[in-house]
Amino acid sequence: MDIEPLTEGCYFHIYNRGVNSEDIFREKKNYAYFMQQYKTYCSDVFDTWAYALLKNHFHLLVYVKQNVVVPRYTGDGTIRLNASRQLAHFFNSYAQSINRAYRRTGPLFESPFERKRIDNDYYITSMILYCHLNAQLHGFVDDFKEWEFSSYHTILKNDNRVLASKKVLEWFGSVEAFEKIHCNKYDEGTIKEWVME
């Protein structure tokens, strides 16, 4: 099976779940820690446009930044960051923390992580909506706005600490347009069609 590389200058839907559908988030603090570790390891290589964190899986919509170079921590010069490697460091860091905290052993995530290249504007818009509606689709909440572990509310606040919220709002044209498209009624078939599952 060929694994699509995370090509610089492209958008990707990245998703994964716990091994054997095991929960990767066991309590509320895990969601915050996941995003904290994600920011630490991945904010240099990705502009993150949307996310959804659910009990046993997650979705990310990212743009892979180009030519990311950071200062070396030892010696002189710089190093060029690799998006796949940074994601691997992130997954390993989070898994090790969960294993220590809950006295478990072995892999936490399925491997390799799934990724789909997004090659058109419709797909980008659809993925943002898909991320935000995901908890409702899976029956965690009746209204997606009740789910606090997606990027919907962060984007509304134009919070750019982890997300490229400003870019997302510009994509939709305004906060009002962003909210309006989310208020449309979408059936499950339409949502799944967006991401070609």
* pLDDT, tens digit (0-9, with 9 covering 90-100), for 146-160: 999 999 999 999 999
Confidence band of 67 (pLDDT split at 50, 70, 90): confident
User: Is 1 contained in some domain?
Assistant: no
Identify whether 5 is part of a domain: no
At residue 161, does pLDDT exceed 70? yes
Question: With 50 as the cut, is the pLDDT of residue 93 above it?
Answer: yes
Joined tokens for residue 39: 């920011």
First and final C-alpha spacing in the chain: 18
The range of the structural domain enclosing residue 32 comes to 11-194
Q: How many domains does the chain have?
A: 1
Report if residue 6 sits inside a domain. no
CB 78 within 8 A of CB 70: yes
174 in any annotated domain: yes
Helices and strands, counts by H and E, the chain:
7, 6
Q: Is 183 helix (H, G, I), strand (E, B) or coil?
A: coil
- Give the per-residue pLDDT at 187: 66
pLDDT value, residue 197: 47
Phi, psi of 62 (to 5 degrees): -130, 155
- 53: helix, coil or strand? strand
Q: What is the CATH number of the domain that holds 94?
A: 3.30.70.1290
Q: Please check the confidence at residue 186 and state whether its pLDDT lies above 90.
A: no
Q: Span 104-122, mean pLDDT?
A: 91
Q: Averaged over 155-166, what is the pLDDT? A: 95
- Let me know if residue 98 belongs to a domain: yes
pLDDT in tens, 22-45: 999 999 999 999 999 999 999 999
Q: What percent of the chain has pLDDT over 90?
A: 74
Q: Report if residue 53 sits inside a domain.
A: yes
Residue 4 located in a structural domain? no
Provide the 8-state DSSP code for 21: G
- Report the length, in residues, of the chain: 197
